[in-house]
Amino acid sequence: MTAAFLTRFFSPLQMSITLIESTEIGTVGVGEATIPPIRAFNHSLGINEAEFMRATQATFKLGIEFRGWREPGHTYMHPFGYTGAKINGQSFHPFWIRARQMGQGHAFAEYSLNTLAAYAGKFDWPSADPSSPKSTLAYAYHFDAALYAAYMRRLSETRGVQRLEATITHAKRSAEDGGIDTLCLSDGREVAGDFFFDCSGFRALLIGEAMNVPFEDWSNHLPANRAVAIPSGVSQDILPYTQATAQSAGWHWRIPLQHRTGNGYVYASDFISDEAAAASLLQALDAPPMADPRVLKFTTGHRKAFWVKNCLAIGLSGGFLEPLESTSIHLIQNALTRLSSVFPTRRIDGVSARLYNRVMSEEFETIRDFLIFHYHVNGRQGEPMWDYLRHMSIPSSLAEKIDLFCERGLTSFPNQTVFQEENWMSVMLGQGLVPQTFDPLVGAVPDAGMLAALKQIHQTCLQTLSEMPAHTVALKKAQTP
Ligand SMILES: Cc1cc2nc3c(=O)[nH]c(=O)nc-3n(C[C@H](O)[C@H](O)[C@H](O)COP(=O)(O)OP(=O)(O)OC[C@H]3O[C@@H](n4cnc5c(N)ncnc54)[C@H](O)[C@@H]3O)c2cc1C
């Protein structure tokens, strides 16, 4: 992604880009669920959707179903897209809260076209016309991350990136300015450069090993530190959404692709052994396994600085937030987009690096809060991990969000980037929070008018849903050149 992005946007600078990859080491090999901004990223690289979907075995994703998170047996959807429609030019959410306090209206999810379509196994593309109900739709993809990486590699190479198949042993730093001068390869070659992107995964070869940037560990709030992954055969229904099912020590993911289903158990090793986690996942598969269980270890958090001197960490080398809301690939793409507005003006550009580091740290923190929220506000009584999570102290930034929602139904928070008010609303309601009041501004609309608007919005959702094609039909259409 980094090489493809650089060559697309910075080729006028006459840069020469070298991509060094080691097949001996390989990629992490998981990462199958994404969020809607990936569409803008792909589009910015000039990627054709049909070609991309064929190349990566992609399916459409309308949201994430959370099973058993509030309590065992309870299920809710965190849909993409906008729930409801504006009333009198104002957000739908406070009107809905007001109607519910009057004992009127349907469940929040009943006004989400994404949720209705997901559960009906349907899909359609969003409309660009803001007056169309389909303009509230939004989608992302499930895909094979290894195939996506290979696709990006091909794209980069055809656009002029030079690729070296080699293993880097270490970096040599300049005695003068502390920046990296060269990368030393295991075959004795050395590669010099002006600026180095560390995309070496969890090993953090440059940002960690060469530049010694410490890691900020968030395990106390997000204790999951392992995952076991097992691909299985394609099941009958290719669902247009991810499933995240709470378990005693974490959660199972289920991600339907065209050629297989991705399954994993993200867990905290303090609460379950690797063997028991793998057994739990194997038991939950709905089709035969296609490979042996593979255990991955990780620590949640990020480097205290992503960019130091002439080295910038992108991807897992910079940090990792567990995959509950499918944000890692997004964070890579987001990092690249942000970099484009502060591209280094010289080999060591401290001013740009400071700005970039601040913005990326905030990005990580807002996602961290969203993830912690899912775990913290749980009603899974009597299970040690969930009891710990419910009682642990939380960052003050998250405590403030919970207060704002509970006391005045607000989900529009400062520094909101990737997860907007509708995302927070779905998850806060889903986890069982109930706002005590609503934005007083919506009180200006008379009750009858408000209830009629809600009814109309609901009927429009159902009517639009009835006209949408099945996910499998849309998948075929999407891949037709
Ligand atoms: C359990 C789990 C589930 C995940 N699920 C999701 C998800 O659903 N959605 C999502 O968005 N993200 C997910 N992710 C994250 C996602 O997998 C990564 O963000 C993505 O794969 C990018 O990883 P990367 O390129 O940073 O690292 P890697 O994939 O590890 O790639 C590192 C690269 O560096 C090269 N390399 C390393 N060392 C050397 C060396 N010494 N010399 C030369 N080359 C070297 C390797 O060959 C490789 O090409 C998940 C991660 C985990 C652990």
- Angle in degrees, 0-180, between the axes of helices 396-408 and 421-430, rounded to the nearest 10: 80
Is the beta carbon of 328 within 6 A of some atom in ligand 1?
yes
Q: State how far Cα 359 lies from the chain centre.
A: 17
Look at residue 426 and tell me if it is in a domain: no
Enclosing H/E stretch for 230: strand 226-232
Is the beta carbon of 145 within 6 A of some atom in ligand 1?
yes
CB atoms within 10 A of CB 174: 14
Look at residue 425 and tell me if it is in a domain: no
Is the beta carbon of 27 within 6 A of some atom in ligand 1?
yes
Calpha distance 81→62 (Å, rounded): 8
pLDDT reported for residue 26: 84
Atom of ligand 1 nearest to the CA of 318: 26
Is beta strand 196-198 parallel, antiparallel or unpaired with respect to 311-313? parallel
pLDDT reported for residue 225: 98
Each residue's pLDDT tens digit, 281-298: 999 999 999 999 999 999
Look at residue 334 and tell me if it is in a domain: yes
In a 10 Å sphere around its CB, with 0-12 CB exposed, 13-18 middle and 19+ buried, how is residue 381 labelled?
exposed
Is the beta carbon of 323 within 6 A of some atom in ligand 1?
yes
What's the CA-to-centroid distance between 169 and ligand 1, angstroms? 18
pLDDT reported for residue 10: 84
pLDDT mean for each 10 residues of the chain (481 residues): 94 88 89 96 97 97 98 98 94 95 96 98 97 97 96 95 97 98 97 97 98 98 98 90 98 96 98 98 96 97 98 98 97 97 94 97 96 98 98 96 94 86 95 93 92 98 98 94 75
**Non-local CB neighbours of 44 within 8 Å, separated by 6+ positions:** 8, 337
CA distances from 426 to 76, 111, 466 (A): 8, 11, 23
Atom of ligand 1 nearest to the CA of 253: 8
CA distances from 460 to 63, 110, 139, 453, 454 (A): 20, 11, 20, 11, 10
**Non-local CB neighbours of 156 within 8 Å, separated by 6+ positions:** 3, 4, 7, 17, 19, 163
Full residue range of the structural domain in which residue 68 is found: 1-80+138-394
Q: What is the CATH number of the domain that holds 181?
A: 3.50.50.60
How many helices, marked H, and strands, marked E, lie in the chain?
A: 14, 20
What's the CA-to-centroid distance between 29 and ligand 1, angstroms? 7
pLDDT reported for residue 11: 78
Q: Which of 215, 219, 225 is nearest to 269 (CA)?
A: 225
Is the beta carbon of 124 within 6 A of some atom in ligand 1?
no
User: Is 316 annotated to bind ligand?
Assistant: yes
Report helix, strand or coil for 431: coil
Look at residue 302 and tell me if it is in a domain: yes
Question: Max CA-CA distance within the chain?
Answer: 78
Is the beta carbon of 18 within 6 A of some atom in ligand 1?
no
Look at residue 442 and tell me if it is in a domain: no
Look at residue 168 and tell me if it is in a domain: yes
User: Is 454 annotated to bind ligand?
Assistant: no
Look at residue 124 and tell me if it is in a domain: no
Each residue's pLDDT tens digit, 191-210: 999 999 999 999 999 999 99
CB atoms within 10 A of CB 81: 21
- Quick check: 370 and 322 in contact, CB under 8 A? no
pLDDT reported for residue 30: 86
- Quick check: 207 and 198 in contact, CB under 8 A? yes
What's the CA-to-centroid distance between 95 and ligand 1, angstroms? 43
Q: Give residue 74's identity as a one-letter amino acid code.
A: H
Is beta strand 196-198 parallel, antiparallel or unpaired with respect to 215-217? unpaired
Look at residue 94 and tell me if it is in a domain: no
Q: How many domains does the chain have?
A: 1
Atom of ligand 1 nearest to the CA of 202: 30
Q: Is the dihedral of CA 450, 112, 408, 418 positive or negative?
A: negative
Each residue's pLDDT tens digit, 107-142: 999 999 999 999 999 999 999 999 999 999 999 999
Calpha distance 28→251 (Å, rounded): 20
**Which residues are part of the catalytic machinery?**
61
* DSSP code at position 90: B
Distance separating the N- and C-terminal Cα atoms of the chain: 24
pLDDT reported for residue 412: 86
Atom of ligand 1 nearest to the CA of 255: 8
